Amino acid sequence: MSVKSLRQTVQGLLPSLTPVRFVAEDGTPAKPPTGYTEPPADQLRAAYRHMVLGRRFDTQATALTKQGRLAVYPSSRGQDACQVGAVLALRPTDWLFPTYRDSVALVTRGIDPLEVLTLLRGDWHCGYDPAATRTAPQCTPLATQVLHATGMAESLRRKGEDGVAMALVGDGATSEGDFHEALNFAAVFRAPVIFFVQNNKYAISVPLARQTAAPALAYKGIGYGVRSEQVDGNDLAAVLAVLTAAVEHARAGHGPFLVEAHTYRMDAHTNADDATRYRDDEEVERWSAADPLNRLEAYLRARGVLTDEDVAAVREQAETMAAELRAGMNAESVLDPLELFDHVYAEPTPQLREQRALLASELAEATEPTEPTESTGSVGSTTPQTQEG
Amino acid sequence: MAKVTMAQALNTALCDALREDERVLVFGEDVGPLGGVFRITDGLTRDFGEQRCFDTPLAEAGIVGLAVGMAMGGFRPVVEMQFDAFAYPAFEQIASHVAKLRNRTRGRLTLPMVIRVPYAGGIGGVEHHCDSSEAYYAHTPGLKVVTPATAEDAYWLLRDAVADPDPVVFLEPKKLYWSREDTDLERRGALPFGRAAIRREGRDATVVAYGPSVPVALAAAEAAATEGIQLEVVDLRTVVPFDDETVSASVRRTGRCVVVQEAQGFAGVGAEIAARVQERCFHSLAAPVLRVSGFDIPYPPPKLEHAHLPGVDRILDAVDRLQLDDEPDTRHLLKGAVA
């Protein structure tokens, strides 16, 4: 390879020096970046609606956690543009591989909010149908899902389908080995996968500077031959534009694409975390000014494509969704402990059959005083509730 | 009937699986043109092409994680971990995802995939090449754990593993790769997946073994027979699912039991088997269930592995401790008769 073509290859892989941005923090148009097309107004309006719904979902989930209705909730407030932009860049037939912090992305994908919260409510691990929704279970072990996305993308490529897979991952997880193995495998196989890093500046308490010495996380792509970009993660227009380009790149058979979004986790890691121990209010206030939802709303209003009536209508939808979510979460779950044995193997082993019988007898004894003839094995209230066998 | 090595049987099984099911893929480190460091995948890339059998970058978590995604995408990956101890980087993928995805998703996503692991010692390998890692996998719900001791089982258990709806960790005893036996691989044996085999019948004591320990147990039985002691040898074939029925029935017949494993003994598969036997066969037992195993040490260097590995003598020493000459003490059955 000549020096000239080598230089072109390297430059083709490297991200922009500064994050791609279409809209400034105050909602005014930024100097347009080169190489990207701003999404059309109707797409931005649709994204705005999803962001309002997503924000409401998030604040409602946080409130429900404070009321003891959820075991835990990792909020993505402040990362709304990333959550919504990621999903809108995909087709429904593409695959998404989310983490535990990506509940708003799942809601944006159209998954029933109650099914999204099954995990955090503690009813089961994954509450939605991953095959039907083409959305993998929310992944807790960090970066492990990035390899699954790569494998899924590779399977789509081998089957000759034009689908892509997108892995969502946080800044802390880019230190995990699986992240690097996934980038490497994807590049070697030219798998149609998009790695979308939401750099929210903290891995629980550890700040980015303790996580990496790279100029930006987007530079982690070049070592693997993965084309990379960085984007203002609080500018929905920019997130959508860059991810759409990344998806097109992968879908066209050009291989994987790494996108780093610079954003901020407004809330603590989870409700169980105390963020005041590792960051000051001043920093949080500074990021409040960069709020992605306010920014998009101001931008769309200034362009005359979003009216007071539009905003009121979307907010009403959001309140309806929140009320339904509250009602759903206030109903007691009906859980069958014997289901624990149903999905360990396709057919239970003889040992699991014995253990199932043991638990069934324990449950029968526990319910005997009040329900002597009860033999169905189910416990708890009889409130109707979605329940798959 | 033809002389077949276990390595050839495994190679034929992969070949037949690739031929019969286009969803089957074979991948891992050096499994392509080289045919694997043990040549188990020899000729597969040549015969089926890069699309079906291919080399991956050198990263075990990557290989297994990729296989998870590809199984979700409709393929049936059969991946090779080059050596037992080199599979450890993949352990998080195996324990957190391979084993759990069916459960996490209530059966909506399943992972039909096979992780082949050449394992255990006896080949003079330097460190990190001879671990007996079966207990890690057997302790992980959601995995099936298979280890053949014969070429015929190697073929059929691998075919069954590839066809299985659940993920299977397929542990191949390295030292048996080149052992030859007369067998017709096209003729399926009578035992289904999940059933243990009685490799030798005997009335005096049951020796439970699996994988690399089965030939050692059979050699011990041969030696014991010359002294008039008839040992029954049970080959588990699948550690998970575990065949309590066959093991317990044998011990109830013989009244005595020795469990043999090459792995270090503490918290091992043999300990589980011994516990299960005494839980189920207590009133049939005339002696304590004994374990014969490797020592609780990191795997030794090649020139010392002979001191570590359970051999015929260690098994026969255990048999000597089965109180074969004692009359059963039935005093406890005569309540009140003995003060």
Active site residues of A: 265, 269, 278
Interface probe, candidates B22, B23, B72, B143, chain A, greatest A C-beta count within 10 A? B72
How many angstroms separate the CA atoms of A375 and B299, rounded?
52
DSSP codes, A292-314: HHHHHHHHHHHTT---HHHHHHH
Span B2-183: which CATH code?
A: 3.40.50.970
Predicted local distance difference test score (pLDDT) of residue B188: 86
pLDDT of residue B334: 66
Identify all chain A residues contacting B68, using CB atoms and an 8 Å cutoff. Answer: 147-148, 151
| Cβ within 8 Å, pair B93-A388 | no
A205-217: average pLDDT: 96
Q: Which residue bears the tokens 């963020």?
A: A275
Q: What is the DSSP code (8-state) at residue A138?
A: P
For residue B22, pLDDT over 50 is answered with yes
pLDDT number for residue B325: 85
Enter the ipTM.
0.94
Q: What are the backbone dihedrals phi and psi of residue B69, each rounded to the nearest 5 degrees, phi first?
A: -65, -40
The minimum CA-CA distance between B260 and chain A, rounded to whole Å, is 22
Average pLDDT of chain A to the nearest whole number: 94
For A259-268, write each residue's pLDDT tens digit. Answer: 999 999 999 9
Both A245 and A218 in one domain: the answer is yes
Does the beta carbon of A351 lie under 8 angstroms from any beta carbon of chain B?
A: yes
Is some CB atom of chain A closer than 8 A to the CB atom of B49? no
Q: Do domains B2-183 and B197-320 have the same CATH topology?
A: yes
In chain A, the DSSP E strands lie at: 95-97, 165-170, 193-199, 202-203, 206-207, 227-232, 257-262
Task: Calculate helix-pair angle for A177-189, B60-72, nearest 10 degrees.
Answer: 70
| pLDDT number for residue A154 | 98
Q: Hey, are the CB atoms on B62 and A125 less than 8 Å from each other?
A: no
Residue A389 pLDDT > 50: no
CATH number at residue A147: 3.40.50.970
For A154, the closest chain B residue by CA position comes to B70
Banded model confidence at residue A368, pLDDT cuts 50, 70, 90? confident
DSSP state of A385: -
Q: Please give the pLDDT value at position A386.
A: 40
Q: With pLDDT > 90 as the criterion, what percentage of chain B qualifies?
A: 92
A2-27 residues labelled b (16+ CB within 10 A) or e (exposed): eeeeeeeeeeebebbeebbbbbbbeb
B249 touches chain A (CB under 8 A): no
Q: Which of B149, B37, B52, B32 is nearest to B82 (CA)?
A: B37
Strand, coil or helix: B145: strand
Q: Tell me: the pLDDT tens digits for A112-160? A: 999 999 999 999 999 999 999 999 999 999 999 999 999 999 999 999 9
Distance from A181 to chain B by nearest Cα, in Å? 5
Residue B267 CB coordination number (10 Å): 12
Percent of chain A surpassing pLDDT 90:
93
Chains A, B: CB pairs < 8 Å: 140
Scanning every residue of chain A, which has its alpha carbon at the shortest distance from the alpha carbon of B245? A350
Contact residues, chain B, for A388 at CB < 8 Å: 106
Determine the pLDDT at residue B279: 97
- Taking CB atoms and an 8 Å limit, are B103 and A153 in contact across chains? no
Q: Among A297, A330, A363, which residue terminates a domain?
A: A330
Q: What is the DSSP letter of B272?
A: H
| Residue B336 confidence (pLDDT) | 58
Q: Using CA atoms, how far apart are residues A235 and A78, in angstroms rounded to an integer?
A: 11
Predicted model pTM: 0.94
**Mutate which of A147, A178, A387 to disrupt the B interface (most B C-beta within 10 Å)?**
A147
Verify that A25 and A54 share a domain, yes or no: yes
Question: What's the CA gap between B71 and B97, in Å, rounded?
Answer: 12
- pLDDT of residue B331 exceeding 90, the answer is no
Give me B247's structure tokens.
Answer: 């093991």
* Length reported for chain B: 339
Q: What is the pLDDT of residues B271-292, one digit of tens each?
A: 999 999 999 999 999 999 999 9
Interior/surface letters A202-223, b for 16+ CB within 10 angstroms, e for the rest: bbeeeebeebbeeebbbbbbbe
Cα B87 to Cα B61: distance, rounded to the nearest angstrom = 8
Examine the domain organization and report whether A140 and A179 are in the same domain. Answer: yes
For chain A, what is the largest distance between any 2 Cα atoms, rounded to a whole number of angstroms? 84
Band (A388; pLDDT cuts 50, 70, 90): very low
Range of the domain at A387: 334-389
Same domain, residue pair A58 and A135: yes
Residues A67 and A154 in one domain: yes
pLDDT tens, position by position, B182-218: 998 888 888 999 999 999 999 999 999 999 999 999 9
Q: Where are the domains of chain B?
A: 2-183, 197-320
Structural domain count of chain A: 2
- Shortest CA distance to A70 belongs to which of A343, A338, A333? A333
Given this model, what pLDDT does residue A367 score?
A: 83
Residue ending a domain, choose from A330, A347, A368 = A330
Strand order through the sheet with B76-80: B53-55, B24-28, B76-80, B114-119, B168-173, B144-146, B238-240
- Whether residues A184 and B142 touch (CB distance < 8 A) is answered with no
Q: Which of residues 156-215 of B touch A (CB under 8 A)?
A: 164-166, 194
CATH of domain B197-320: 3.40.50.920
A55 with A101, same domain: the answer is yes
Produce one character per residue of A136-157: b if its CB has 16 or more CB atoms within 10 Å, e if not: bbbbebbbbbbbbbbbbbbbbb
Does A160 contact chain B (CB < 8 Å)?
A: no
- pLDDT tops 60 at residue A381: no
Token reading at A206:
């550890």
Closest to A350 in 3D by CA, of B160, B237, B241, B197? B241
Q: Is the confidence at residue A385, as pLDDT, over 80?
A: no
Model confidence pLDDT, tens digit, residues A77-112: 999 999 999 999 999 999 999 999 999 999 999 999
